[in-house]
Amino acid sequence: MVQIKNGVIERYCPVCDCWKEENVENFYRNYKVKNKIAFMSTCKVCRKDRNKINKEYCNKKSLEWFYENYGQERVRIKQWKVNNSEKNREYLSEYQKRDSFKQKKYGLRHKNHDVTKQEWYDCKKFFNFECAYCGLSIEEHWITYGNNKKLGDFHKDHLICNGKNNLSNCVPSCQGCNLSKHTFTINQWYNPENSNYTQDRYHHIYLWIRYDYKKFITKSNKR
């Protein structure tokens, strides 16, 4: 229902039983009506209240269904993962071989370092068998697997996320720093705002990637 009062077009909302000025502040547009400007029959306040009630009702029903079917749903999801894990691995392998350009563009590049055991040992030795970023000793590098912890080797971290896979872009990193750095650049992540940052370690990293790594490249990896 629409009326004109004192030169102002008003629309009647049947839910709250009141007249309101017909504009975008009080009513939602009805885009199903083409070739002219039209509004919904109920005001914004009433529609929001109704949507809130519907959302709460749907959430309640979803929780009830989940608790009633928890065991069956858990078995179904587990079985689905088993059936599709091999298929997903095959697809990912084919994708990595086929779409190398997209991998580089979207950061999906295969990131395994091509360094020898001797090169990796020399790299860790250069950093005194400590994490290049926080200084954690390899003897204290506990890796978490689920609820278990065990001593493990450092990660071969790419200093430049999508950079080379050789020794020039490889530094030893503990699990915590490796996860925290993620895809950030060295200057974005390892700076005075980082609690693990020290000027000495930053300079040590710079010397490694700029000059010293060249001393430890084996003949098989020289280009």
**pLDDT by position in tens, the chain (length 223):** 777 887 788 888 888 888 888 888 888 888 777 777 788 888 888 888 888 888 888 888 888 877 787 777 778 777 777 776 666 667 666 666 665 555 555 554 556 888 999 999 999 999 999 999 999 999 999 887 777 888 899 999 999 888 888 999 999 999 899 989 988 889 999 999 999 999 999 999 999 999 999 999 886 665 5
Across the strands, what pairs with 11?
Answer: 2, 20
Alpha-carbon span 5 to 20, nearest angstrom: 11
CATH class name, domain 2-56? alpha beta
Burial class (CB in 10 A: 0-12, 13-18, 19+), 103: middle
The residues spanned by each domain of the chain are 2-56, 69-105, 117-221
pTM of the model: 0.52
Alpha-carbon span 205 to 155, nearest angstrom: 15
Assign 18 to helix, strand or coil.
Answer: strand
Query: Can you tell me which residue has the tokens 């990660």?
Result: 155
What DSSP letter does each residue of 26-67 carry, written as one string?
TS-B-TTS-SS--B-SS-HHHHHHHHHHHHHHHHHHHHHHHH
Cα separation values, 108 from 45, 105, 161, 196, 218, Å: 46, 8, 10, 28, 28
